[in-house]
Structure 1
Amino acid sequence: MTPYEGLPGGIGISRLRVYDWLAADGLRGGTPHLHLTCSEGYAVTGGRGAVQTLTATGFQETPLSPGALVWFTPGTVHRLVNDGELTVNVLMQNCGLPEAGDAVLTLPPPLLAAPETYRAAVALPADGSEAELAAAARRRRDLAVEGFTALREATEAGDPEPLAAFHRAAVALVRPLAARWRKRWKAGAAAAAEATGAQLDLLDRGDAGYLTAATVRAEQPAARGRFGMCGRLDVYDVS
């Protein structure tokens, strides 16, 4: 039996300090986006705020304060709002894939029309200074808030087509990456489930030998303060 040594269930985790930049609608916070294949959860550790979500069933705002646990499934457009020092531990499916490609920002439709156009709009400068990185992250946040506002207004007015069109554009943008993501899933969540199945088989036979392969791992963040979609990230390499 091949042991599985990743985090439980093949998840990823990061520590997020949500942006406090003011947006055009008077709210402070992160960049609205959705994930295509991953659920994501927020375990709030400090501050206060909310997560705004938009699905085909409508708009919702969920308050966030220390101790709150909120999660959502693929296709949920979500935006973190920071009402004061909001800090979150982010739990992500598939070894952290949500921060490694499985996300599409709610940019205005012309910027979603082609992969190269989208990439240019969301990219951060590779060798930029702290100020340059912050400016680029804030620009893409503001574009995504603009697109999110239009999607929310259309949905609340009873017009489902703009959100459906965004879903189609998101799928078209990430479809070429599906094979690569499948490999990550097989090495993570699928491998974790298979390992549990193998352990249950051994238990059924009364075989305790696999317990001698137990391991312990401890990690510090592989990067601190990285500019993410919703805030500054401390990220862990737990693959």
Structure 2
Amino acid sequence: MPRSSFPGGTSVSLLDIYADAAPDGVCGGSPHMHLVSTEAYIVVAGRGALQTIDASGFQETPLTEGVVVWFTPGTIHRAVNHGGLRVAVLMSNAGLPEAGDAVLTFPADVLADPEAYARAADLGAPEGRGERAARRRDLAAAGFADLRMAVEAGDGSALAAFHEQAGRLVRERSKGWGELVAEGPLALAQQSLDLVRAVEDGDARHLSEARVRSASTPAEPGYGMCGRLRPFDVSD
């Protein structure tokens, strides 16, 4: 059975995008990339933008209330806050980002050294975590600026190198990801297929097992990559 009946094996969170400015003057979160998971923003308040880098280059997508935007694995993304930006985040493959499916856009010398990367990414003890999150964001913003400059100049080598370095960084910790996918979205998809086949055969006994479930967010938000994060507990 799936670990959760929440639709699609996804996770859902509320995210208040960081409002302070990085050294380049841009207010917002830490640029990063997921290697396996697709992410969606549903803008519920405020305004801002989503800056992205992929094989097609640099792009900026406006974010205003009611906008839905999603981006597939390999999309480097930076959430920009122009005022009170809050989004509901849907993430495929629930549990994978927490298991390490993310790489921050630190400068190339940090990415090349796994120990240096781990030190720069670690937020440590709760005391002073806000300051460390800001330093992490600022370092990622510096690497993002290098990547943006390269792709806007028509040079794809920096992006290709980042992809290669990201793959190396997550290779070891990715070994448990398959189980999370199998127990989440794959199990839910198989369950749906089984129900379709049961209905086709005239068997509707599963309807008697219907249940309503609800979830609430933690009172105290944590420090996510893009902002203060309140994940919903959607486990059964």
Q: Give the TM-score range, shorter chain.
A: over 0.9
| 2:61 aligned partner | 62
SS at match of 2:234: coil
| 2:222 aligned partner | 226
| 1:153 aligned partner | 149
SS at match of 2:97: helix
Shift of residue 219, structure 1, vs aligned partner: 1.3
* Alignment map for 1:157-176 (pairs within 5 Å): 157-176=153-172
Shift of residue 117, structure 1, vs aligned partner: 1.9
Q: Any gaps of 5 or more consecutive residues in structure 2?
A: none
**Percent of aligned pairs with the same amino acid:** 50
Q: Distance in 2 between matches of 1:211 and 1:115?
A: 50
Matched to 2:63, the amino acid is L
SS at match of 2:228: strand
Q: Distance in 2 between matches of 1:224 and 1:174?
A: 29
Shift of residue 223, structure 1, vs aligned partner: 6.0
Q: Does 2:192 align with 1:193?
A: no
Deviations 1:7-62 (A, max 9, x none): 10100010000001111221100000000000000000000000000001100000
Q: Does 2:236 align with 1:237?
A: no
Q: Distance in 2 between matches of 1:67 and 1:11?
A: 20
Is contact 2:106–2:140 with CA below 8 Å preserved after alignment?
Answer: yes
| 1:207 aligned partner | 203
Q: Any gaps of 5 or more consecutive residues in structure 1?
A: none
Q: Distance in 1 between matches of 2:206 and 2:62?
A: 44
TM-score (norm: length of structure 2): 0.96
Matched to 1:177, the amino acid is R
Q: Does 2:30 align with 1:31?
A: yes
Shift of residue 96, structure 1, vs aligned partner: 4.5
| 1:109 aligned partner | 108
Is contact 2:93–2:181 with CA below 8 Å preserved after alignment?
Answer: yes
Q: Distance in 1 between matches of 2:3 and 2:97?
A: 21
Matched to 2:61, the amino acid is T
Is contact 2:54–2:74 with CA below 8 Å preserved after alignment?
Answer: yes
SS at match of 1:199: helix
Q: Distance in 2 between matches of 1:203 and 1:5?
A: 22
Matched to 1:181, the amino acid is W
| 1:98 aligned partner | 97
Shift of residue 3, structure 1, vs aligned partner: 6.7
Shift of residue 178, structure 1, vs aligned partner: 2.1
TM-score (norm: length of structure 1): 0.94
Greater fraction helix: 1
Q: Does 2:143 align with 1:144?
A: no
Q: Distance in 1 between matches of 2:15 and 2:98?
A: 12
Matched to 2:41, the amino acid is Y
SS at match of 1:16: strand
Deviations 1:71-112 (A, max 9, x none): 010000000000001000000001142344210000001111
Shift of residue 189, structure 1, vs aligned partner: 0.5
